[in-house]
Structure formats: C-alpha cells, structure tokens
Amino acid sequence: MQRIADNILNETIEPLFEKTCVQLCNGGFNAIRSSVKAVLSLSSILQTSLGPRSMSKMILKDNGEFIITNDGSMILSNIKANHPASKLFVDIALAQDRDVGDGTTSVVLIASEILKLLYEMIEEEEEEEYEGNGGEGGEQQQQQQQLTIHQITLTSLLFKAGQVALSILESDQVSNAFQSNDPTILLKMAGVSLATKHYSYWTNNLINIAYNSIINTSRNNNNNNNNNNNTIDIQNNINIIKMYGIGNNNNNNTSSSNNNNNISNIDNNEFIKGLFISTIKQPFIINNNSNNNNSSSDTTDNNEKRCCILGFDLIDLKNKESFKTHKSISSVNDMDHYLSFKQSRLIFIFNKIKQMNINVVFCKYSLPENLIQMLVYHSISVIQELKDEDITKISTITGAVLLNNQDEFDLESMIGSISIISMYCKFENQYFIHLSNENTFYSTIIIRSPTMDIADDLEIGMIDALYLLKSSMETKPRYVYGGGCCEMSLSMALKRHVQKNNIKGLEARIFEILANAFSVIPSIIGSNCYPFQNTKIDNDSNDNDDQEMIDGGIMSIITRLSFLHGQHLKNQDVATDETSVPCKWGIDGWTGRICDISKLGIIEPLVLKKSIINAAIESCITLLRIDTIISCSVLNPPIK
C-alpha cells in the first residue's frame, strides 16, 4: 500500500482547474496587514470630506471627463479599487448609502479605525510572543507570522461589543424620542444632511423642498397609524428634474411661482405637487376658460377632465392587424384603398373620443396631423410621443388603462380623469407637462443651477436628504445629536460599561478599541476646522456665556470633550430614568469649538447611526475572518 501511495504521489497530475491559484498573503496576520493598508488608503481619501468644512475631490475618468464632489458615496462609486478589501469596503459603504441615504463616509472612517487599532493590538501581541521566545525563528518566522489570537475570537468579541454599543445607542443615555412626523425635528434632520455638501450656502429652500416632498408622498399611508409600517416609495413617487444653464428655457407657463425666468438661480428650486411627463413633440393643451392659442396653455381649473391613453400607432398601419385587407400598393386603386382605410380609421377613433366625452388624449406614438387638428378644434388636449415610464405614471395618477386597440374605447373602465394639466416649460428640446389630481402622492422637485455639475451635486444632496427623512419616518422615532456628540457619548459609555461590569483581558481591549474608534469622528470633524488658534468652548454655566480657551490643538479639544462626556455619565449614575438625558457637548463643524449641539440644531436619526455602526462592524468582521488572500490567473492563455 505504501508503494502504491508513493507511485501516485510521483505521477504527473493534470490540473483539475482552468485557473492557477497563487497565495499573495499566507497567514492571518499577513492577510490582516494587507487588508488594513488597503482600507486605510480609502480612509485617507475620505477624511477631509467629513463635516460642513469638507473638501471636494476631483475624480478624473478614463474618457477625459472629471467629477468634483465631496459626497462619500459618489467618491467611492467612481474610484477604482484594486485590493479586494478596498472593493469590499466600497460595496458595503455604497449599500449603506442605498439603505439609509447617508453615512457612507462615517462607515469607512470608523471601520478603518477599528481595523487599524486591532492591527496594532495584534502586532503588539506578536512582538511580545517573539520576544518571549528569545527572538528565535529569525527570518522564516517573520515571513509566515501566525496569529496568537484566533481570528474567530476577535470577531466574536467585536460583535459582542457592537451589540452593547447598539443597546447603549437606543437608550436615553445617547438618543432622544420625538413625536412622529414632527416638522421641527424632520427639518433639522434634512438640514444636517444638506449642510455637509459644498453647496450648503443654498440649502435654506432645499430643506423645505425635501420635507414637503416626503410629507406629500407619505400621505398615501396616512390611514396606517403605526409608523413602523409606513413605507415611502421615493424611487417611484418622487421625481427630480434638473435644469441648468442660461437661455435654454422657453417657458409658457404663466401660473408658475417663479415663471422660470432665471433657470440658473439656485434659489428658484421648488417643490410641485404632482408628476411631470416630458415629450419631444409639442403638446396641445386646451384652456377651456379662454379662447387664446390652444397650444402650450395652462389648464388649472379643478374640474375633472376625462382622459384616455392610446397605445397603438395610427400613422404606420402597414404592419397592423387591423389593416387585414392590405396588400402591397402597386396601383392607384390600392393607394386609394389604403388612404380610405386610414381615413376611416381616424374618423372612427375621433368619433369614439367624442362619444366618450374625453377631454385629454395621451398617446404613446405620434398622431396624424389631421386627427390632431380635429381634436384641438373640438377643445380636446393632445400629448403624444410619451415614454413607457411616463405612460405608467399617467395610468397611476389618472386611473386610465392603456388602450391597445380601438375596440377597447367602449369600456368605461379604461377611461381615467385628471384635475390639473399644464405646460410647465421647454428645456433642451423637451416639453415638460405638469399633471396632478386631488390628494395625489406624487411629488416633483425642480432643481436649477448655472452648470450641470452643480445640478448633479444638488441632486445627490437632495436624494440623501429624502432617504434620510424616509428612514427616520419608517422606523422608531428617535434622534441623536451630531457633531461627534453621539460618537463621543458611545465611546465614554463603552469604557464605563467595561469598568462597571469588571470586564478584563482581551474582551476589555476589544471594547476599548471600539470605544476609541468611535472618537475618530469628532476628531476628524475638528481636524477639518483648521487653524486651531483661539479655539474656544461654550461654557453654559453662567448667563454671560463665558468661554474657556483651549490650547494644544485637536488632541486637547478631544481630551476636553471626553472629560465633559465622562462628567455627564457620572452625573447620570445618580439620575433616574425620567431625568436621564443625553450629553449635548459636541464639535461645531464650522468653528471647531466645543459647544452645545442642541443649540445648533444638529440632530440625526437614530436609524442612521445604527446602520453606520452595523455596517462598520460587519465589514471589519468580514475582513478579520480572512486568513489567506489568493489570486487566480488563467492557465495557458490562448495565443492571439
């Protein structure tokens, strides 16, 4: 048997796979070191993009175009990460942005700080083990370093510390409850999300626009009193239209509040109840209250107008089943027969429209000119060449069903109604039409700016604010203070948890690492507020609002901030549940001062912080479980 085994081992074995695997990092320590270096490179990019004094990044693309933005999700989605750990962090951070709408930068910064501190701890353990062995092993031991602490042990303790942090976050030590749909709180939340963008100078009207859009869209769930089950569909019910540049707008809408006279003015952004559809064909919208020009006029009376949606082509009849007698046109008689059939079909359609008392005709395709003339002459509005997504929206708001053939005109259930239909404006060869019904939950946001880049950034900030409001309204109504106040409260609460529960050893070190990682947020917010000369803190102990000077830069500020939070925790130990309140000391992102965050109105929804902590810890756990990084390449590539 031994001889057979030796023969098998000595035989040349054909490769079982089409790819060869090369170990790039062998051993848990080397794999962690490689991942930490890759993640820290992402963190270094995003550090200066946190807070209201965040700096923008210029991202150059392969095609020569570039993007200027300070939004974390936009930066991560456009950079090319080569290391698998970096790619993993990018995917997790972008998932955070899709789920909650904000917090992408915080996820990367906290997670990278956790990994860095864990790596330093592991490195210390390895050095102590190496010195304990008398330095034996030499170069071979340094090349293949094995962890003295099992990686699963690290991930288990990190997960446990994260659960403790989440429980503290939901308690009255850190978060506050508020009345569901409280406009004051929701407006502050939207303002904090928009204030961190580099266009924050123009956020006054954007805050109200985001709030009004969310409130209007959530009205379709008003019958449900349980806020936890309130679902807001932003993607389908809120539409954002960007208009930029000067001289590209041909406005014919006299009812618009801004008249669209200055399309480049950011202050003219607005929220409009209802939806917008667009077409490249000029619409014919009839104003029944006047005898003015029929095209591009405004119909804003509250009378319900019956409407239908035509889904079949009335111009190209050659391939339609309705023209069953059609043969190839080879004579004058054939041409007369074809034109006669076409004319009779148009007359039939027109009579059906009149018979059903239809006031507005929406059509997926272009309509013949003679049919349009007949319809407009009889005060019937015509909107043609509509996109499929617009057809779906029209069907939803009007209740009309797409007519696929002329026989369906006899069905009353296929006909809908619309209260408001108006020509809003023409922008870049597109006609925008406003549709609305009473109690509609569709919302439209009009974004105006001088350039396309600014319009794109305004859209990103608006989407972040919308999803932030959505997540806060759909979940438990609680908020936390921003400006690093929440993170510092968590940091000090975790350290106090270790002391009160007499946690020792490795578990205590993991808790301390997580606590120190949270404090990186106020540290970076303060670091972005340079210079630190004459940095002050607000002293709320007297009416004169005296201020205490702090010297020594950001480290001195963070030390002072942690002391204030520690003193607050000691005071809360003797407080009852009814008198327990969160600490309000944080960093003013504009001045770098330690101040009462509640006075600045900087608050964030609890669900955002929970999602950030979960995403950061889960991403760290995923990387910590990796002990080997393997690169696969194709064997024997084909010869070109």
Condensed to tens digits (0 to 9), the pLDDT of residues 191-250 reads 887 877 666 666 678 888 888 888 888 865 554 444 445 678 888 889 998 888 754 444
Same domain, 34 and 165: yes
Mean pLDDT, residues 44-57 taken together: 85
596: phi > 0 → left, psi -120 to 50 → alpha, else beta; which? beta
Q: Determine, yes or no, domain membership for 265.
A: no
The tally of domains found in the chain comes to 3
Q: Which residue has the tokens 């948890």?
A: 497
Cβ–Cβ < 8 Å for 193, 461: yes
Most confidently modeled range among 45-54, 299-308, 342-351: 45-54
pLDDT at 124: 79
Q: Is residue 452 part of a domain?
A: yes
pLDDT of residue 52 exceeding 80: yes
For 419-440, what is each residue's pLDDT tens digit?
Answer: 889 888 888 888 999 998 888 8
Last residue of a domain, one of 415, 439, 463: 439
Q: Are 80 and 476 in contact (CB under 8 A)?
A: no
Distance CA 511, CA 494 (A): 7
- The predicted pLDDT at position 512 comes to 92
Does residue 429 sit in the same domain as residue 495?
Answer: no
- Are residues 86 and 122 located together in one domain of the fold? yes
Looking at the chain, the whole-number percentage of residues with pLDDT higher than 70 is: 73
Query: Is the predicted pLDDT of residue 159 greater than 90, yes or no?
Result: yes
Q: Has residue 16 been placed in a domain?
A: no
pLDDT at 332: 65
Residue 12 lies inside a defined structural domain of this protein: no
Does a structural domain hold residue 260? no
Domain co-membership, 33 together with 163: yes
Question: For residues 530, 534, 538 and 544, what is the CA-based torsion angle, rounded to 10 degrees?
Answer: -150
Residues 205 and 303 in one domain: no
Confidence at residue 264, expressed as pLDDT on a 0 to 100 scale: 61
Minimum mean pLDDT range among 305-314, 510-519, 609-618: 305-314
419 and 327 share a domain?
Answer: yes
| Residue 260 clears pLDDT 50, i.e. is over it | no
pLDDT at residue 151 greater than cutoff 90? no
Quick count: other Cβ atoms within 10 Å of Cβ 179? 9
What are 273's strand-pairing partners? Answer: 443
18 located within any domain: no
Q: Which residue has the tokens 């949606």?
A: 309
Q: What pLDDT, on a 0 to 100 scale, did the predictor assign at position 165?
A: 92
Judge whether residue 379 has pLDDT over 50. yes
Q: Summarize pLDDT for 107-133 with one digit per residue, the tens.
A: 889 999 998 898 888 877 766 665 655
> Does the pLDDT at position 625 exceed 80?
yes
CATH number at residue 222: 3.30.260
Provide the CA 48 distance to its chain's centre, in angstroms.
Answer: 20
Peptide bond into 477 cis (omega under 30): no
Average pLDDT over residues 372-389: 89
CB-based contacts of 480, cutoff 8 Å, min separation 6: 169, 174, 175, 176, 486, 582, 603, 604, 605, 606, 609
Give the orientation angle of helix 606-624 with respect to helix 104-132, to 10 degrees.
40
Report pLDDT for 258: 42
Say if residue 229 is in the same domain as residue 93: no
Q: What is the pLDDT of residues 490-501, one digit of tens each?
A: 999 999 999 888
> Distance (Å, rounded) from C-alpha 583 to C-alpha 581?
7
Rounded Cα–Cα distance for residues 88 and 108 (Å): 11
Tens of pLDDT, residues 547-592: 443 445 778 888 888 899 888 888 877 655 555 788 889 998 888 8
Mean pLDDT score of the chain, rounded to an integer?
A: 76
User: Cβ(239)–Cβ(248) under 8 Å?
Assistant: no
- pLDDT given at position 490: 92
**Global pTM value:** 0.77
Say whether both 340 and 432 belong to one domain: yes
CATH of residue 419: 3.50.7.10
When pLDDT is averaged across residues 170-195 and rounded to a whole number, the result is: 84
Give the pLDDT of residue 259. Answer: 43
- In sequence order, what are the residues at sequence separation of 6 or more whose Cβ sits closer than 8 angstroms to the Cβ of residue 154? 118, 510, 624
* E strand segments, 487-546: 536-538
Q: Give whichever of 49-58, 197-206, 213-222, 533-542 has the largest mean pLDDT.
A: 49-58
pLDDT, residue 362, reads 92
Q: What is the per-residue pLDDT for 299? A: 43
- Reading the block at residue 557, the tokens are 């500020």
- For position 33, what pLDDT does the model report? 78
The pLDDT of 508-516, averaged and rounded, is 92
Could you tell me the CATH number of the domain that includes residue 122? 1.10.560.10
pLDDT at 75 (0 to 100): 85
List pLDDT tens digits, range 438-484. 888 889 999 888 888 778 888 888 888 888 888 888 888 888 998 88
Count the neighbouring beta carbons within 10 Å of the beta carbon of residue 254: 11
Same domain, 165 and 199: no
The last residue of a domain, from among 411, 439, 467: 439
Percent of the chain with pLDDT over 90: 9
Contacts of 312 (CB under 8 A, 6+ apart): 320, 364, 365, 403, 404, 405, 406
Same domain for 416 and 334: yes
Can you give the residue range of the structural domain that contains 378?
Answer: 275-439
Q: Is residue 134 in a domain?
A: yes
Question: What is the Cβ-side half-sphere exposure of residue 118, based on CA atoms within 13 angstroms?
Answer: 32
Task: Examine the domain organization and report whether 56 and 99 are in the same domain.
Answer: yes
163 pLDDT band (50/70/90 cuts)? very high
Question: Does 194 lie in the same domain as 292?
Answer: no
C-alpha to C-alpha distances, 244 to 271, 439, 454, 517, nearest whole angstrom: 17, 30, 9, 42
Domain membership flag for residue 48: yes
